Amino acid sequence: MISIAIDGPSGAGKSTLARRLAAHYGYLYVDTGAMYRAVGLYGLRQGTDLADGAAVAALLPGVQLRLGYRDGVQHIYLNGEDVSEAIRAEQVGMAASAVSAHPAVRAFLLDTQRALAKTNSVLMDGRDIGTVVLPDADVKIFLTAAPEVRARRRYDQLREKGLPADYETVLADVKQRDYNDTHRAAAPLCQAPDALLVDTSKLDFEQSFQVLCRIIDRHRKDREEER
């Protein structure tokens, strides 16, 4: 069993790269952001004040999350409904960021995340995988890029999907989310001391993929030699 943790701010390319890497190595891809997004979506639908920790904690008994894999692609079910598409909305991203600040929400998701890594070789991405969820992960990568580059990528993605987008608004959202994720008291986004820093500001997808493959291949080779 092997576990690979990829952490970093939103828009650094974590999920696209992690998905491709998991397929390449035959590991299970676990997108922990999707879990926070599903909780955020539930809170939005209930009309809850997402900044209110007690109110959000009170929602959790009504939240049943399940991850399913179809053709290697993770689908997330919220109380039986496949919300994989619905959780991608910009507004749900902000909601996820808000609910993820509450310790009760983090504790609620932690067991599920750890259980997946116990029974599978995983490539897990998020904000606190290398620091909190899997502190003993075999490989830890901290993936980042300049906020302007991340906003540009997000803007291009939205335009490609034909969705209305304004670059300055997207950039402001990226910066706001960075601030929220790094300044919260509970498991804030930060680089684990033993994580390798990869900055993709000047790399395209293929180049970033190759850099990460080299890191993982090196670890696999070292492990083979130890045997």
93 part of the interface to ligand DC, by CB under 6 A: yes
Reference 78, options 60, 88, 63; nearest CA is 63
Asked whether position 48 contacts ligand DC by CB under 6 A, the answer is: no
Verify binding: residue 155, ligand DC, rule CB under 6 A: no
Number of residues lying near ligand DC (CB under 6 A): 15
Closest CA to 190 of 142, 147, 148, 123: 142
* Site mask for ligand DC (CB under 6 A), range 163-192, x = bound: --------------x---x-----------
Q: Under the criterion CB under 6 A, does residue 200 sit at the interface with ligand DC?
A: no
Residue 208 within binding range of ligand DC, rule CB under 6 A? no
Binding residue for ligand DC (CB under 6 A) from 4, 5, 6, 10?
10
Would strands 73-78 and 196-199 be described as parallel, antiparallel, or unpaired?
unpaired
CA quadruple 57, 118, 68, 127: dihedral sign: positive
Report the residue number, 48 or 100, with the smaller CB distance to ligand DC: 100
Binding region for ligand DC (CB under 6 A) out of 50-58, 76-84, 125-133, 156-164: 125-133
154 near ligand DC, rule: CB under 6 A: no
Please report how close the Cβ of residue 219 comes to ligand DC at its closest, in angstroms: 21
Give burial (CB, 10 Å; 0-12/13-18/19+) of 101.
buried
Q: Report, in Å, the least distance between residue 21 CB and ligand DC.
A: 16
- Name the residues that contact ligand DC, by CB under 6 A: 10, 32-33, 36-37, 93, 96-97, 100, 126-129, 177, 181
